Amino acid sequence: MNSSRYLPRLTAALAGVAVVSLSLSVSSSVQARELSVSTVLSDAFPWGQAAEKWAELVAERSDGELTLRVYPNSQLVNGDQTREFSAMRSGLIDAAVGSTINWSPQVPELNLFSLPFFMPDVEAVDAVTGGAAGESVFAAIESRGVVPLAWGENGFRQLSNSQGPIDAPEDLEGLKIRVVGSPLFQDTFTALGANPTQMSWADAKPALTTGAVDGQENPLSVFDVARIDQVGQEYLTLWNYMNDPLVFAVNQQVWDSLSAEERTVLREAAEEAGAWEIAMTREQEPERLAAIKERGVTVTELDEAQHQAFVEATESVHDEWVPRIGSEIVEAARADMQGE
Ligand code: X2X
């Protein structure tokens, strides 16, 4: 047998092997995907840690085939956190761990959580997020092209200012308060007699530093980590006027492009990271409060009558906003909180 006769066949066979292995490596590199995840706060805060935890669990469970890259400080929307939802819906951002406040301009149902003095404690928040109202809120997000996967928590928002202790609505009279760029907040602080100014978180600290604004509202974790006491905010009122849940979510087209296994990994990792972050945020609050007091901040707590005065002063916000949120969702939330 003349081996040279077989050479072309052998070459062709080898070439075939090369093509197969090339196409294998191409298809595996197409499969290995990186998704961008937007957050407002970095991993110095529980919020950013929630996103990092999600990324860690996804990388681990997908053997590195699916990775999440977290972009903190609203950098994917140039600092404009109220554009995060639109950017995710349009596919500029693949995923996010975002605040219900920041997404509420595009998803009005999310204003449910911002209704002043509506959910008094963490039990109420859990009843709503884990109940029928929570499901309706997720359906509202999904109907706008974003797939919600799990809840996290920024926390109950407390009021700070540089001027003096606040234990009555009158104490807010004329104070310039930085609020997030969501219209409901404008209404709440106007109803309280304050002078609210909408600005992004990126602009908030400079505005507090220069005294352009007198006060702000954020959870204890944010006050503590961002050292808001160092920018003249010497007075803090614990009024639990609203809780700011976070939502882990993915753009609809991105979600549709994933395999069933990848979706399961993403969803389960989000649920675990969210539960982990919620527990941590709540556990850390007492130590954070102690640290804040130690730094010389005057902390004011409200008695029942003082609390009631704030509730009454903000009733008009409910009148205005319940129809915009949808009275069925608000009623469902009430029922969830009453354990019905
Ligand atoms: O801007 C804020 O106050 C912050 C960081 O809490 C949110 O993104 C809602």
DSSP string, 95-153: EEEEEHHHHTTT-GGGGGGGSTTSS-SHHHHHHHHTSHHHHHHHHHHHTTTEEEEEEEE
d(C-alpha 83, C-alpha 94), whole Å: 14
What are the tokens at 312?
């009454």
CA angle 76, 82, 85 (to 5 degrees): 70
Q: List Cβ<8 Å contacts ≥24 apart for 103-106.
A: 103/141, 103/247, 104/182, 104/184, 105/181, 105/182, 105/183, 106/144
Atom of ligand 1 nearest to the CA of 157: 6
How many residues comprise the chain? 340
Per-residue model confidence as pLDDT tens digits over 9-23: 545 455 544 444 444
Whether 28 has a pLDDT exceeding 80, the answer reads no
Is there an atom of ligand 1 within 6 Å of 102 CB? yes
Is 23 domain-assigned? no
- Tell me: pLDDT of 152 over 50: yes
**CA pair distance 327, 112, nearest whole angstrom:** 10
In a domain, 178, yes or no: yes
Q: Is 158's C-beta closer than 6 angstroms to any atom of ligand 1?
A: no
Closest-lying ligand 1 atom to the alpha carbon of residue 217:
3
Average pLDDT rounded to a whole number, residues 278-302: 98
Instruction: Please tell me if the CB atom of residue 35 comes closer than 6 angstroms to any atom of ligand 1.
Output: no
Going by the DSSP 8-state scheme, the letter that residue 301 receives in this structure is E
Amino acid at position 76, single letter? L
Q: Which residue puts its alpha carbon closest to atom 8 of ligand 1?
A: 40
Atom number of ligand 1 nearest to Cα 201: 1
Q: Which domain holds residue 151?
A: 33-337
Q: Is residue 12 part of a domain?
A: no
Tell me the pLDDT tens digit for each residue of 211-268: 999 999 999 999 999 999 999 999 999 999 999 999 999 999 999 999 999 999 999 9
Q: How far apart are CA 187 and CA 319, in angstroms?
A: 11
Ligand 1, residue 200: give the atom nearest the CA. Answer: 1
Beta bridge partners of 176: 195
Whether 41 is in the pocket of ligand 1, judged by its Cβ within 6 Å, is: yes
201 lines ligand 1 (CB under 6 A): yes
Q: Which residues pair with 170 in a beta bridge?
A: none
40 lines ligand 1 (CB under 6 A): yes
Percent of the chain with pLDDT over 70: 91
CB 182 near ligand 1, within 6 Å: no
180 lines ligand 1 (CB under 6 A): yes
Q: Is the pLDDT of residue 5 over 90?
A: no
- Distance between CA atoms of residues 101 and 243, nearest Å: 10
- Could you say which DSSP state residue 72 is in? -
> Biggest alpha carbon distance in the chain?
105
| DSSP conformation class of 159 | E
pLDDT at 32: 79
List the residue whose alpha carbon is closest to atom 1 of ligand 1.
201
80-93 per-residue burial string, b: 16 or more CB within 10 A, e: under 16: bbbbbbbbbbeeeb
Mean pLDDT of the chain: 93
Nearest ligand 1 atom, CA 244? 9
> From ligand 1's centre to the CA of 305, what distance in Å?
29
| Ligand 1: centre distance to CA 242 (Å) | 13
Q: How far apart are CA 239 and CA 44, in angstroms?
A: 25
- Calculate how far, in angstroms, residue 101's C-alpha sits from the geometric centre of ligand 1: 8
Among protein residues, the one with the nearest Cα to ligand 1's atom 4 is 201
Query: Does 305 fall in a domain?
Result: yes
Ligand 1 pocket test, pick from 73, 77, 102, 182 with the greatest ligand atom count within 8 Å of Cβ, gives: 102
| % residues pLDDT > 90 (the chain) | 90
39: Cβ below 6 Å to ligand 1? no
Could you write out the DSSP letters of every residue in 278-297? Answer: HHHHHHHHHHHHHHHHHTTP
The residue whose CA is least distant from atom 6 of ligand 1 is 218
For residue 171, the model assigns a pLDDT of: 98
pLDDT of residue 29: 47
- The best mutation among 197, 218, 246 to test binding of ligand 1, ranked by most ligand atoms within 8 Å of the C-beta, falls on 218
Domain count along the chain? 1
Closest atom of ligand 1 to CA, residue 41: 5
Residue at 6 is within a domain: no
CATH number of the CATH domain containing 276: 3.40.190.170
* Closest ligand 1 atom number to CA of residue 216: 3
Q: What is the DSSP string of 217-241?
A: EEEHHHHHHTTGGGGT--EEEE---
- The answer as to whether 223 is a domain residue is yes
pLDDT at 295 over 80: yes
CA 298 to chain centre: 28
Residue 20 is predicted with a pLDDT of 46
Average pLDDT over residues 139-145: 98
